[in-house]
């Protein structure tokens, strides 16, 4: 199931919190604040949060010490490197009411902590990952066991989330200054890959350049790694009204008709609203207006 908004994501995370999902798997690219959102939602409920770099024995022990409580496994991609973790994940992600969890060998650590080598738990599991395909190669049948969500927010949704978090990040500089960075990212969002981290890193870059008198905008644009094909396609779509003329212009730049449709689909998937005019500079008046709206929100 593909969802595109943070409201939808919040719905399914609350569904897990409320006990109505035995296994919930959330996949999305990094930098979209999945961890932060599930942390905010689950703080209202006693649970176990497992992060990357947890050892298999620690995972087994924590699952016992939090027996029957919800378990959130964040950044599961890192856990998959250990076969013992894989075996534990298979047992924990079983959607039977009672799951039998067992350790693979005798361990003095378990004995010293009065933890049995086998136990039953009713814990429900939520998994946060960046690449579900890699996960299913190691743990088969997970897709059919639970609710699998692909979180693919449009640029419009990501930009709206950026505007929401502007007051919360880098509070040592003004809203107006942070909005200058946001405006650059907004302007070029359709022709590069953006996440919430893009804004956080962009503001950090602005602060460093400001203090040293360096042109921060040029460095920020370079860091965005604009996709030249998307830049070209955006220009062609605005310059020509007829599809035949657009394809001709695309092919004149050395690309195939098939490639045109591939990148058009990619661009359409990134946006809902009309394409942003990449050649229209943002004025200080627009930046100030946006900053005021953020402050009032």
Q: Are residues 161 and 139 in the same domain?
A: no
Distance of CA 159 to the CA centre of its chain: 13
Q: What is the number of residues in the chain?
A: 297
Total count of domains within the chain:
2
pLDDT for 26-64, tens place per residue?
999 889 999 889 999 998 889 999 876 778 888 899 999
Please tell me whether residues 249 and 147 are part of one structural domain.
Answer: no
- What end-to-end distance do the CA atoms of the chain give, in Å? 31
Nearest to 59 by CA among 49, 70, 47: 49
Entry pTM: 0.77
pLDDT tens-digit profile of 152-185?
999 899 999 999 999 999 999 999 999 999 999 9
Domain end: 105, 133, 151, which one?
Answer: 151
What is the 3-state composition of the chain as percent helix, strand, coil, each rounded to the nearest 5? 55, 10, 35
- Residue that terminates a domain, selected from 151, 176, 210: 151
User: Tell me: the pLDDT tens digits for 255-281?
Assistant: 999 999 998 888 777 665 433 343 444
Please give the residue range of the domain that contains residue 146. 2-151
Of the residues 151, 170, 204, which one is the last residue of a structural domain?
151
Please indicate, yes or no, whether residues 143 and 174 belong to a single structural domain of this protein: no
User: What is the number of helices (H) and of strands (E) in the chain?
Assistant: 16, 8
31 burial type by CB count under 10 A (0-12 exposed, 13-18 middle, 19+ buried): middle
Cβ neighbours for 48, distance < 8 A, ≥ 6 positions apart = 62, 63, 66, 69, 70, 71, 72, 123
Regarding whether 287 and 195 lie in a shared domain, the answer is: yes
Helix residue spans in 99-149 (DSSP H): 108-112, 132-138, 142-145
What pLDDT, on a 0 to 100 scale, did the predictor assign at position 77? Answer: 65
Instruction: Report the CATH number that the domain containing residue 82 is assigned in CATH.
Output: 3.40.50.300
Is 177 found in the same domain as 213? yes
């Amino acid at each position: 199931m593909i969802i595109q908004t943070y409201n939808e994501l919040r719905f399914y995370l609350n569904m897990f919190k409320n006990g109505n999902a035995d296994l919930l798997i959330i996949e999305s690219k990094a930098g979209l604040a999945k961890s932060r959102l599930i942390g905010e939602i689950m703080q209202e409920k006693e649970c176990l949060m497992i992060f990357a770099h947890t050892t298999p024995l620690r995972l087994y022990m924590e699952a016992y010490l939090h027996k029957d409580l919800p378990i959130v496994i964040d950044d599961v991609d890192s856990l998959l490197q250990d076969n013992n973790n894989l075996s534990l994940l298979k047992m924990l992600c079983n959607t039977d009411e009672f799951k039998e969890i067992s350790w693979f060998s005798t361990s003095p650590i378990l004995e010293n902590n009065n933890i049995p080598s086998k136990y039953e738990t009713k814990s429900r599991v939520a998994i946060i990952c960046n690449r579900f395909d890699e996960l299913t190669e190691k743990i088969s049948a997970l897709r059919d066991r639970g609710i699998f969500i692909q979180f693919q927010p449009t640029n419009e949704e990501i930009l709206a989330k950026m505007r929401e978090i502007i007051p919360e990040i880098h509070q040592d500089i003004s809203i107006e200054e942070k909005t200058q960075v946001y405006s650059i990212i907004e302007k070029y969002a359709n022709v590069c890959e953006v996440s919430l981290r893009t804004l956080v890193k962009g503001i950090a870059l602005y602060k460093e350049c400001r203090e040293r008198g360096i042109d921060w905008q040029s460095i920020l644009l370079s860091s965005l790694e604009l996709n030249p094909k998307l830049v070209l396609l955006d220009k062609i779509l605005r310059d020509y009204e007829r599809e035949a003329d657009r394809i001709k212009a695309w092919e004149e730049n050395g690309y195939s008709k098939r490639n045109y449709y591939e990148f058009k689909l990619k661009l359409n998937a990134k946006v809902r609203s009309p394409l942003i005019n990449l050649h229209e500079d943002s004025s200080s008046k627009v930046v100030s207006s946006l900053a005021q709206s953020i402050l009032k929100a």
